Amino acid sequence: MASLRTLTVLTLVAGLLAGCAGTKRVAEAPAQPASTQAAAKPEKKKGKTYRDVITEEARSDDGLFTVHRVDEKLYYEIPDSLLDRELLLVTRIARTEDGIGYGGMKTNTQVVRWQKQGKKILLRVVSYENVADEDEPIYQAVRNSNFEPIIKSFSIETLNDDSTAYVVDVTSLFTDDVPSLGLQKSRRDQYKVRRLDKSRSFIVSARSYPKNIEVRHVLTYEASEPPSNGSTGAISLEMNQSMI
C-alpha cells in the first residue's frame, strides 16, 4: 500500500511540473507584430505645392499671365478670370533662312481660348465661320456645328498661393510640332519636310506685358529639299507668338 501511495504522489507531482512548463512556454511566446494583425494604411499622395513647381531659380515675368522659366521649361500661370476669354494669337517668322519669306512675316492669326476641363487646361481655337445671335432659334444648331478644335492639352501642375490661377507647363506648345504655330503646310510640301526635330527646337525667350505675351522659339525641321544649305537636310526658323 505504501508503494502504491508513493507512486500516486509521484504521478501527481510529474503532472503538475509538466503543466507549469507548458504554461511557461505559452507565456514566453513572442507577441505577433502589429503589421500582421492589420495591414498598414497607404499614405495619401499630396499634390505639388507652388514652390515645388515654381522654384527659387525661376525667372518670372508678370503681365497678362505670369510666365515662369525654370531651366528649359516654360510655365504659364493662368488666372481663373481669364479662362474662356477670347484672345488673339498671332504667329510670325522672326528670323528665317534664305528662301523662306522674311523676318517679321505673319503666317497665321487665330482666336483662342484657355479652358479648364477636369484636371487639365485646354487651348482651343474659336471659329467664326458660322455665327448666329444667341436669341435666334438656330443659335444652338450653329454652335453645335462650330465645335472648337483643341490645339493642346496641359496637365494642371499646381495652383498659385491664393488658388486664383492655374500653373501649367506649356513648353511642348513651342517645342512640339504644332502646325498652326510653325511652318505653313504649303512650305512643308514644297521643301518635303519629314518631321520636326525636337532636339534642335527650343524656347528662346518669353515676356509678359499687361495686354500681351511674347514668346520666341526655334523650330528645326528635317527636309529633303530645303531652300538653302541643302547639305544640312534641315530648315531652322525662329518663330514669334503674340497672344493679345
- Where do the domains of the chain lie? 50-243
Which position has the grid cell 487639365? 120
CA 44 to chain centre: 21
First-to-final CA distance of the chain:
118
Model pLDDT for residues 65-107, shown as the tens digit of each residue: 999 999 999 999 999 999 999 999 999 999 998 888 888 999 9
At 155 the pLDDT is 98
46 pLDDT more than 60: yes
Lowest-confidence segment of 39-53, 111-125, 229-243 by average pLDDT:
39-53
Model pLDDT for residues 128-176, shown as the tens digit of each residue: 766 656 667 666 665 666 789 999 999 999 999 999 999 999 999 999 9
State the Cα–Cα distance between residues 121 and 158, nearest whole angstrom: 12
Mean pLDDT within 43-55: 83
Which position has the grid cell 487665330? 110
User: Are the beta carbons of 33 and 20 closer than 8 angstroms?
Assistant: no
At 7 the pLDDT is 46
At 139 the pLDDT is 62
Q: Please report the sign of the dihedral spanned by the C-alpha atoms of residue 145, residue 140, residue 86, residue 155.
A: negative
From the list 219, 215, 224, the residue with the least C-alpha distance to 182 is 219
CA–CA distances in Å: residue 8 to residues 15, 16, 188: 11, 13, 110
Model pLDDT for residues 184-207, shown as the tens digit of each residue: 999 999 999 999 999 999 999 999
Which position has the grid cell 526658323? 237
DSSP strand pairing (213-223 vs 165-169): unpaired
At 42 the pLDDT is 47
At 98 the pLDDT is 86
Q: Which residue has the higher pLDDT, 68 or 13?
A: 68
